[in-house]
């Protein structure tokens, strides 16, 4: 099955993951790709809810150990996991990517990281679904992360001092490990909250294209803020039926963008720029185990 669609990734072509043996995210290397020791892929036609041992999205949440287990998930979910894609990144794929469900259980050697498991999932998709992809760069609409006032940040975006202990977060942050970024429990019902600790602004920009924020296109950091930062931002999520906020960058009623400006001293500006995309060249339904 030849597909000419593209899976939109992050801007700048900088998200290709590297495994310990030097493999790129597309698997195009002479080195042997890392892979699960054993794996089972089965079609699921039940009405049971989808499950996963850990979140399959682009975030850091992970359960350590060598076991990957997910049930009743569409192929699109496994693609998002394997290539670190968000909810709005997938263009023009056939309906069965979304409609047909699969159970995948696999065991990896040792104690791999989540990024290493992503690479193993790429190998599994190539083997069982005969997935073939390549990368190319296209000019696409993007968003640019800037400071509202040069040299100044908001009260909830603070530089992470090297002397700070990672064992205990500062009083204004919820428990979160250093190097992590993601959603957490808000201070009041009905609010959403995103926090990060000891993360670069490039990492913050990369994470903003996320269902949690409603941003549906790549974000590039142009804040010129060097070093690591801690941050916390809360907002009132827009209703599900609302227009995606990335299309309303100048709309002050967009509560996430308003919170970004008021709490962190940051803003998003529209632009166009180079975007690394993954193009699906070939994929087939898997054969039975």
CB count in 10 Å sphere of residue 99: 10
Residue 289 falls within a domain, yes or no?
A: no
In contact, 161 and 197? CB cutoff 8 Å: no
Q: pLDDT (tens digit, 0 to 9) for every residue of the chain, 289 residues total?
A: 545 444 544 433 322 222 333 333 344 434 668 999 999 999 999 999 999 999 887 777 789 999 999 999 999 999 989 988 765 555 567 889 989 999 999 999 999 999 999 999 999 999 999 999 888 888 989 999 999 999 899 999 999 988 778 888 888 998 888 888 888 999 999 999 999 999 999 999 988 988 788 888 889 999 999 999 999 999 998 765 334 444 444 443 358 999 999 999 999 999 999 988 888 889 999 876 6
Partners of 138 in the β-ladder: 275
Q: How many domains does one find in the chain?
A: 2
Shared-domain flag, residues 163 and 96? no
Asked if residue 36 and residue 88 are part of one domain, the reply reads yes
Q: Same domain, yes or no, for 149 and 132?
A: no
Q: Looking at the structure, do residues 160 and 115 belong to the same domain, yes or no?
A: no
Residue-number span of the structural domain to which 12 is assigned: 6-136+276-282
In this structure, the answer to whether residues 163 and 132 fall within a common structural domain is: no
Say if residue 146 is in the same domain as residue 109: no
- Whole-number Å distance between alpha carbons of 249 and 241: 17
Residue 288 lies in a domain: no
**Residue 120 domain-assigned (yes or no):** yes
Work out the end-to-end distance of the chain between its first and last CA atoms, rounded to an integer number of angstroms: 21
Strand order in the sheet with 219-221: 6-11, 266-282, 132-147, 219-221
Judgement on whether residues 153 and 264 belong to the same structural domain of the protein: yes
Same domain, residue pair 178 and 101 = no
Tell me how far the alpha carbon of residue 86 is from its chain's centroid. 5
Q: Is 93 among the domain residues? A: yes
Residues 118 and 157 in one domain: no
In a domain, 227, yes or no: yes
Q: 208 in a domain, yes or no?
A: yes
E strands in 176-285 = 181-184, 192-199, 219-221, 229-235, 266-282
**Which residue is it, tokens 């992590």?**
180
Pair (37, 144) in one structural domain: no
**Quick check: is 1 in a domain?**
no
Cα–Cα distance measured from residue 78 to residue 137, given in angstroms and rounded to the nearest whole number? 23
The two tokens of residue 74 are 């569409």
Q: Is residue 254 part of a domain?
A: yes
- The whole-model pTM stands at 0.65
Do 66 and 106 lie in one domain? The reply is yes
| Whether residue 198 sits in one domain with residue 182 | yes
């Amino acid at each position: 099955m030849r597909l000419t669609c593209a899976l939109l990734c992050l801007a700048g072509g900088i998200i290709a993951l590297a495994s310990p043996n030097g493999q790129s995210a597309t698997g195009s290397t002479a080195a042997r790709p890392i892979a699960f020791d054993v794996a089972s892929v089965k079609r699921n036609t039940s009405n049971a809810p989808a499950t996963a041992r850990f979140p399959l999205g682009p975030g850091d949440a992970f359960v350590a150990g060598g076991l990957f287990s997910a049930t009743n998930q569409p192929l699109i979910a496994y693609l998002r996991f394997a290539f670190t894609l968000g909810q709005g990144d997938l263009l023009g794929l056939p309906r069965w990517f979304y409609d047909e469900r699969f159970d995948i259980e696999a065991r990896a050697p040792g104690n791999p990281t989540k990024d290493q498991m992503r690479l193993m999932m790429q190998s599994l998709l190539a083997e069982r679904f005969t997935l073939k992809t390549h990368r190319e760069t296209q000019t696409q609409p993007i968003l640019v992360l800037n400071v509202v006032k040069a040299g100044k940040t908001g009260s909830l975006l603070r530089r992470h001092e090297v002397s700070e202990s990672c064992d205990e977060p500062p009083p204004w942050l919820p428990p979160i490990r250093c190097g992590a970024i993601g959603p957490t429990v808000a201070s009041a019902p009905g609010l959403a909250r995103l926090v990060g600790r000891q993360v670069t602004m490039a990492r913050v920009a990369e994470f903003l294209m996320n269902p949690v924020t409603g941003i549906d296109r790549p974000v590039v950091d142009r804040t010129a803020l060097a070093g690591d930062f801690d941050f916390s931002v809360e907002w009132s999520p827009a209703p599900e039926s609302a227009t995606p906020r990335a299309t309303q960058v100048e709309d002050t009623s967009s509560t996430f963008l308003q919170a970004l400006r008021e709490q962190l001293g940051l803003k998003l500006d529209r632009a166009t720029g180079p975007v690394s995309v993954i193009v699906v060249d070939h994929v087939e339904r898997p054969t039975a185990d």
